[in-house]
Amino acid sequence: MSGYPNRSQGWWITDGWKAGAKNFYYPRETWSYSWAVAHSLRWYLESAKSGLTAKRVYSPSELEPGDVIFYDFQGDGVIDHSVIVTSVYDGVPYVHAHTGPSANRHYDYSDSYAYTPNIQYYFFKINDFFQ
Protein backbone atom coordinates (compact mmCIF):
# COMPACT_ATOMS: atom_id res chain seq x y z
CA MET A 1 0.00 0.00 0.00
CA SER A 2 1.20 3.48 -0.69
CA GLY A 3 0.38 7.14 -0.14
CA TYR A 4 -0.11 7.17 3.65
CA PRO A 5 -1.03 9.53 5.31
CA ASN A 6 -2.40 11.59 2.40
CA ARG A 7 -6.02 10.45 1.95
CA SER A 8 -6.13 11.66 -1.66
CA GLN A 9 -3.05 9.68 -2.71
CA GLY A 10 -2.35 5.98 -2.99
CA TRP A 11 -4.30 3.02 -1.77
CA TRP A 12 -4.02 2.30 1.94
CA ILE A 13 -5.71 1.71 5.28
CA THR A 14 -4.32 1.91 8.79
CA ASP A 15 -5.42 -0.45 11.48
CA GLY A 16 -7.96 0.58 14.07
CA TRP A 17 -6.29 -1.15 16.99
CA LYS A 18 -5.35 0.82 20.04
CA ALA A 19 -2.69 -0.59 22.35
CA GLY A 20 -4.43 -2.27 25.30
CA ALA A 21 -7.90 -2.09 23.72
CA LYS A 22 -10.04 -5.23 23.73
CA ASN A 23 -12.06 -4.16 20.69
CA PHE A 24 -11.51 -2.35 17.43
CA TYR A 25 -10.95 1.34 18.04
CA TYR A 26 -12.26 3.13 14.94
CA PRO A 27 -11.17 6.71 15.73
CA ARG A 28 -7.59 5.70 14.88
CA GLU A 29 -8.57 3.93 11.68
CA THR A 30 -8.05 5.99 8.56
CA TRP A 31 -7.99 5.15 4.88
CA SER A 32 -7.34 6.64 1.49
CA TYR A 33 -10.29 7.64 -0.64
CA SER A 34 -9.36 4.90 -3.11
CA TRP A 35 -9.69 2.34 -0.32
CA ALA A 36 -13.26 3.37 0.49
CA VAL A 37 -14.78 5.10 -2.56
CA ALA A 38 -15.41 3.19 -5.82
CA HIS A 39 -14.94 6.27 -8.00
CA SER A 40 -11.57 7.00 -6.37
CA LEU A 41 -10.42 3.38 -6.68
CA ARG A 42 -11.18 3.43 -10.41
CA TRP A 43 -8.97 6.51 -10.89
CA TYR A 44 -6.25 5.09 -8.70
CA LEU A 45 -6.13 1.86 -10.75
CA GLU A 46 -6.21 3.84 -13.99
CA SER A 47 -3.03 5.71 -13.07
CA ALA A 48 -1.06 3.69 -10.46
CA LYS A 49 2.51 2.92 -11.47
CA SER A 50 3.54 1.11 -8.26
CA GLY A 51 1.97 -0.89 -5.46
CA LEU A 52 -1.46 -2.19 -6.46
CA THR A 53 -1.65 -1.77 -10.23
CA ALA A 54 -4.10 -2.84 -12.90
CA LYS A 55 -4.77 -2.66 -16.60
CA ARG A 56 -8.11 -1.62 -18.04
CA VAL A 57 -9.54 -4.16 -20.48
CA TYR A 58 -12.66 -3.79 -22.59
CA SER A 59 -14.25 -7.21 -22.50
CA PRO A 60 -15.58 -9.08 -19.47
CA SER A 61 -14.24 -12.30 -21.00
CA GLU A 62 -10.70 -11.06 -20.24
CA LEU A 63 -11.33 -11.06 -16.49
CA GLU A 64 -10.28 -13.65 -13.90
CA PRO A 65 -10.95 -14.10 -10.19
CA GLY A 66 -9.48 -11.18 -8.27
CA ASP A 67 -10.13 -8.63 -11.02
CA VAL A 68 -12.42 -5.64 -10.49
CA ILE A 69 -15.51 -4.32 -12.29
CA PHE A 70 -16.76 -0.77 -11.81
CA TYR A 71 -20.30 0.39 -12.55
CA ASP A 72 -21.43 3.80 -13.71
CA PHE A 73 -25.17 3.17 -13.48
CA GLN A 74 -26.26 6.53 -14.96
CA GLY A 75 -23.57 6.67 -17.66
CA ASP A 76 -22.48 10.09 -16.38
CA GLY A 77 -18.81 9.30 -15.80
CA VAL A 78 -19.17 8.86 -12.04
CA ILE A 79 -18.46 5.37 -10.72
CA ASP A 80 -21.27 4.26 -8.42
CA HIS A 81 -20.22 0.75 -7.42
CA SER A 82 -17.41 -1.78 -7.61
CA VAL A 83 -17.21 -5.55 -7.27
CA ILE A 84 -14.58 -8.27 -7.26
CA VAL A 85 -14.68 -11.13 -9.74
CA THR A 86 -14.81 -14.37 -7.77
CA SER A 87 -15.42 -16.89 -10.53
CA VAL A 88 -15.70 -17.16 -14.29
CA TYR A 89 -17.99 -19.62 -16.05
CA ASP A 90 -17.90 -19.96 -19.87
CA GLY A 91 -16.11 -16.61 -20.09
CA VAL A 92 -18.72 -14.80 -17.96
CA PRO A 93 -17.54 -13.18 -14.70
CA TYR A 94 -19.47 -13.72 -11.49
CA VAL A 95 -18.91 -11.30 -8.65
CA HIS A 96 -19.21 -10.64 -4.93
CA ALA A 97 -19.85 -7.25 -3.36
CA HIS A 98 -20.81 -5.90 0.04
CA THR A 99 -24.37 -5.28 -1.14
CA GLY A 100 -26.88 -8.08 -1.03
CA PRO A 101 -27.70 -10.38 -2.51
CA SER A 102 -24.40 -10.37 -4.31
CA ALA A 103 -22.70 -13.69 -3.65
CA ASN A 104 -21.64 -15.19 -6.97
CA ARG A 105 -23.92 -12.95 -9.01
CA HIS A 106 -23.72 -12.33 -12.77
CA TYR A 107 -21.59 -9.25 -13.37
CA ASP A 108 -24.13 -7.34 -15.52
CA TYR A 109 -26.35 -6.31 -12.57
CA SER A 110 -29.38 -6.22 -14.89
CA ASP A 111 -31.51 -7.46 -11.96
CA SER A 112 -30.34 -4.61 -9.70
CA TYR A 113 -32.61 -1.73 -8.69
CA ALA A 114 -29.70 0.56 -9.65
CA TYR A 115 -29.46 -0.75 -13.23
CA THR A 116 -30.29 1.69 -16.03
CA PRO A 117 -30.06 1.38 -19.83
CA ASN A 118 -27.20 3.94 -19.61
CA ILE A 119 -24.96 1.69 -17.53
CA GLN A 120 -21.25 1.76 -18.32
CA TYR A 121 -18.84 -0.98 -17.22
CA TYR A 122 -15.14 -0.54 -16.49
CA PHE A 123 -13.14 -3.77 -16.38
CA PHE A 124 -9.75 -3.92 -14.67
CA LYS A 125 -7.28 -6.79 -14.53
CA ILE A 126 -5.34 -6.57 -11.28
CA ASN A 127 -1.64 -7.25 -11.80
CA ASP A 128 -0.39 -10.35 -10.02
CA PHE A 129 2.65 -8.54 -8.64
CA PHE A 130 3.45 -5.36 -6.79
CA GLN A 131 5.90 -3.02 -8.46
Could you report how far apart the first and last alpha carbons of the chain are, in Å?
Answer: 11
CB 130 within 8 A of CB 52: yes
Strands 92-96 and 105-106: antiparallel
Distance CA 18, CA 118 (A): 45
Domain boundaries, the chain: 54-126
pTM of the entire structure?
A: 0.80
pLDDT of residue 48: 85
CA dihedral over 43, 47, 48, 53, signed as positive or negative:
positive
For residue 44, give the 3-state DSSP assignment: helix
- For the cut 70, the answer to whether the pLDDT of residue 21 exceeds it is no
Confidence of residue 119 (pLDDT cuts 50, 70, 90): very high
- For the cut 80, the answer to whether the pLDDT of residue 24 exceeds it is no
For residue range 68-111, what is the model confidence (pLDDT) as tens digits?
999 999 999 999 999 999 999 999 999 988 776 678 899 998 88
pLDDT of residue 47: 86
Higher pLDDT, 131 or 85: 85
pLDDT of residue 10: 61
For residue range 37-56, what is the model confidence (pLDDT) as tens digits?
788 888 888 988 888 889 99
Q: Tell me the Ramachandran region of residue 66: left when phi exceeds 0, alpha when psi lies from -120 to 50, beta otherwise.
A: left
- For the cut 80, the answer to whether the pLDDT of residue 8 exceeds it is no
Residue ranges of E strands in 1-131: 54-57, 68-72, 81-89, 92-96, 105-106, 120-126
CA distances from 78 to 26, 51, 122 (A): 28, 24, 11
